[in-house]
Structure 1
Amino acid sequence: MIARETGQFYGQTNHCFQQNGLTLTDTEYTLPEVDWHYHENAYFTFILQGRVIEGNKKEVYHCGAGDLLFHHWQDAHYNIKPPGFTRGFHIEINPAWFAQYDLPHNLIEGSVRLKDPRLKLQMYRIFKESKVQDCKAAIDTLLIELFNHETVKDEQLPPWARKLNELLHDDKESHLYTLKELATAVSVHPVHLSRTFPLYFNARLSDYQRQLKLQKALSLLGDKNQTLSAIAASCGFSDQSHFIRQFKQVQKMTPLAYRKMLTGFYF
């Protein structure tokens, strides 16, 4: 089995830089298939544009823009790239990085797809900071916050909440559903769902859906054929100005500026 060293990914790496035990790369995937391999460090893969299929010993993930994967060090996997342009952002983490912040290196175990929109929004922030590079501490801070996010685990959920978790993350229109529609879908009373949602998801339902909307919008910005007004409408914002306000609150820049940064050039 092939072992990949730090900073090595299959395809065309447009830029790679190292900082304080982290290696960040922006890579265009060019090979249609990549056989089983592993990396010497734990790392995140964040799909910025296009599609990729990734398989490990337990699961196969069909990933598109906005999907976030984590691999522990030496976890083997393979990749298949469908036709079209695909681009990924990677953060490799040296064991020394965990040690300097007194973080256990097994905070996330195995090869997994992370669905929580808060984690994806955090990764978009890290990507932005990797381009700006005006405050090196920002990337470390954001990554520590990402690891400290408490995410829902299926085995800890009652059946209705497990079903709701699947609905929220697998239904592309779930951010548009009303409280009553979600409650009906999982067969619980709307009041019960509203009251207990924070216990299982560490956020109010309205905030969680807002994060889903913003995460979907960010995943669509890489498609130059989508206008900002079309993105705002498909993500459930009342109008483009509302979309811009919500976006700036989270990413500290306008959707147009973020789109230019994402698609106009690499790091």
Structure 2
Amino acid sequence: MRMMHSGQYLGENQQSRKVAGIVVSKTIYRRGVYEGWHAHSSTHITYVLRGGNREVRKTSEHEARPGKVLFYRQNEPHRNNNTQLPTLNINVELTPACLRNNFISEADLHTGLQQHPNARLVLLKMYKETLLNDEHVDASLQMFLHTLTTFSDRRFSPETWPDWMKKVHQCIHDQWHSRIRLDQLAQASGVSPVTISKHFPRYLGCTLGEYMRRLKIDHALAWMKTSDRNLADIAYACGFADQSHFTRTFRQQTSMLPTQFRAL
């Protein structure tokens, strides 16, 4: 089995930076990709921006398409089949020393990624942070890392939510592109608007308004990498009043402009 060492992937790193045991890379796959079993010497996370492949593990396999976030344990065997060319990924590698020094386990990180409502946005911010050249990058990256693990807490698991919160969550995702009022959510869930306002942050870690903004940008990320629609059309389809509002919100959520993301 082929072993991949720190910062090494089957594609070509267009950019890679290591800070405090965190290696953030932008990796592109332009030509035939090795399809045999391989593993990485450190834990890492992959965010698929463009292209994708058929991801094969020892006990499962699935399609890894744009917008997918994948978690790999240290030394975990896997294969990448039928890679679409070109494929572009953002990879965040965490050395054993980094996890140990930050008191983070692989299990907590994996659970946090699964339950985090906006993991993609955090990973984009981590990538953007590595483009800066100042003394604060290491602290910022470690803070973003802990943001991902925050959602490993059991209260963020939908399985533990009360029925009314599950209904609120479903209603939001069914109408994510619309303007949703508290009284609509109250009617759909059978609880008062006050109950929703009071307890919503407990289960999703933010206010309703912040969650809706993140959700809209999350949908926009996929469209911007899988379609040729212009930004004004995407802004309107995602429920923004105009492109200017969309651009401001996008920058707040990702630390980059829509044009910068599209150019990745």
TM-score where L is the length of structure 2:
0.77
* Residue of structure 2 equivalent to 1:144: 143
* Residue of structure 1 equivalent to 2:207: 204
CA contact (8 A) 2:55 2:79 kept: yes
What are the superposed Cα offsets for residues 10-61 of structure 1, whole Å, 9 maximum, x if unpaired? 2333333333322232222344673443211011111122333434356544
- Name the CA distance, whole Å, in 1 between partners of 2:132 and 2:141: 13
* Residue of structure 2 equivalent to 1:265: none
Q: Which letter does structure 1 place at the counterpart of 2:221? A: L
What are the superposed Cα offsets for residues 148-190 of structure 1, whole Å, 9 maximum, x if unpaired? 3432223432345456657767x6x6343735666676x5446
CA contact (8 A) 2:53 2:65 kept: yes
Shift of 1:208: 0.7
Shift of 1:223: 4.8
* Residue of structure 2 equivalent to 1:37: 38
CA contact (8 A) 2:177 2:237 kept: no
Residues 33-182 of structure 1: pairs in structure 2 closer than 5 A: 34-57=35-58, 59-81=60-82, 83-100=84-101, 102-106=102-106, 108=108, 114=114, 116-130=116-130, 132-135=131-134, 137-149=136-148, 150-151=150-151, 152-162=156-166, 174-176=176-178, 178-179=180-181
* Cα pair distance change 1:59/1:168, threshold 3 Å: farther
CA contact (8 A) 2:225 2:262 kept: yes
Match among 237, 246, 254 for residue 257 of structure 2? 254
Aligned pair count?
256
Q: Does 1:4 align with 2:16?
A: no
Structure 2 residues without counterparts, runs of 5 or longer: none
Q: Which letter does structure 2 place at the counterpart of 1:73? A: Q
- Name the CA distance, whole Å, in 2 between partners of 1:61 and 1:197: 32
Q: Does 1:240 align with 2:239?
A: no
What are the superposed Cα offsets for residues 190-231 of structure 1, whole Å, 9 maximum, x if unpaired? 634444322211212221111111222234333572211012
Q: Secondary structure at the match of 1:85?
A: strand
Match among 227, 231, 235 for residue 234 of structure 2? 231
- Name the CA distance, whole Å, in 2 between partners of 1:110 and 1:118: 14
TM-score where L is the length of structure 1:
0.77
What are the superposed Cα offsets for residues 88-118 of structure 1, whole Å, 9 maximum, x if unpaired? 1111111222344x42343635599636343
Q: Structure 1 stretch 238-247 or stretch 49-58: which is displaced more?
A: 49-58
* Cα pair distance change 1:113/1:246, threshold 3 Å: closer
CA contact (8 A) 1:10 1:31 kept: no
Q: Which letter does structure 2 place at the counterpart of 1:256? A: T
* Residue of structure 1 equivalent to 2:15: 15
- Name the CA distance, whole Å, in 1 between partners of 2:197 and 2:61: 33
CA contact (8 A) 1:122 1:142 kept: no
* Structure 1 vs Structure 2 CA RMSD: 3.4
CA contact (8 A) 1:70 1:114 kept: no
Q: Which letter does structure 1 place at the counterpart of 2:133? A: D
